[in-house]
Amino acid sequence: MRHVCLFDIDGTLLNTGGAGQAAMERALEAAFGLVDLNHDIPAAGRTDRAITSDLFAHHGIELHDESWNSFVTTYVENLRVSLADLTGTVLPGIVELLDELASHGDVSMGLLTGNFREGAWLKLSHYKLDHHFAYGGFGDDHHDRDDVARTAYAEACRHLKRDVEREQVWVIGDTPSDVRCGRAIGANVIAVATGIYSADELAAAEPDYLVADFSDPGMLLARLI
Ligand SMILES: [Mg+2]
């Protein structure tokens, strides 16, 4: 395989209709009895580890293995429920884009997401996109998305059993953090304005390519296939 595409999930492949945030809130209540949550902690483009650490710190919850594992387990249980309860959507053109990329033997597809590993697979399987992805970098261990990108790149190399050239790697995401982390690993970056950031805000981060959505995937396909 010549090219590697590393996809962000939320705001890029799909929108869960707030299932992730709802699950986080329910988990903090179930695990620690918190009901009055701080909603000012930013989430888009950040890792679940970083978001959760901020929530713990803000609400005075001590972070250690036990509290952490209890939170993640409860979060995943609640995510399953909130994915079913809330109406989300696969974003425009994504099903066709992934099918098209998969039908060519030349493109390997992985994940580069701030989601907890288990949460990522739950979201993707709920929206029937999981079969396209075999590996990735996740937000369990890293506070900094650039480190998630480094892991995703290393996993791509491991999966393909070779050192993938950086110019053959494409990072696709919906936030300035996605652009930055793509730069951190020397990849090409495509920003897509289907998340909370406008096209103008994404342009300021200077991605290699910027699209409103993938309803016309021709630009990406032309460069990959
Ligand atoms: Mg995103």
Q: Are 27 and 51 in contact (CB under 8 A)?
A: no
pTM of this structure: 0.95
Give distance in angstroms: CA of 95 to centre of ligand 1. Answer: 17
Give distance in angstroms: CA of 68 to centre of ligand 1. Answer: 23
- Which DSSP helix (H) or strand (E) runs through 69? helix 65-85
How much is the pLDDT for 196? 94
Instruction: Say whether pLDDT at 208 is over 80.
Output: yes
Question: For the segment 32-53, what is each residue's pLDDT rounded down to a tens digit?
Answer: 998 877 778 888 889 999 999 9
Both 122 and 11 in one domain: the answer is yes
Both 169 and 106 in one domain: the answer is yes
How much is the pLDDT for 34? 87
E strands of the chain, at which residues? 3-7, 14-15, 89-90, 107-112, 136-137, 169-173, 188-192, 209-211
Question: For the segment 17-26, what is each residue's pLDDT rounded down to a tens digit?
Answer: 999 999 999 9
Give distance in angstroms: CA of 148 to centre of ligand 1. Answer: 13
- Under the phi-then-psi rule, with left for phi > 0, alpha for psi from -120 to 50, and beta for the rest, what region is 125? alpha
Both 127 and 201 in one domain: the answer is yes
Give distance in angstroms: CA of 114 to centre of ligand 1. Answer: 8
Give distance in angstroms: CA of 64 to centre of ligand 1. Answer: 27
Both 130 and 210 in one domain: the answer is yes
Both 112 and 65 in one domain: the answer is no
Query: Strand, coil or helix: what is 90?
Result: strand
As to burial, measured by CB atoms within 10 angstroms (0-12 exposed, 13-18 middle, 19+ buried), residue 214 is: buried
How much is the pLDDT for 222? 82
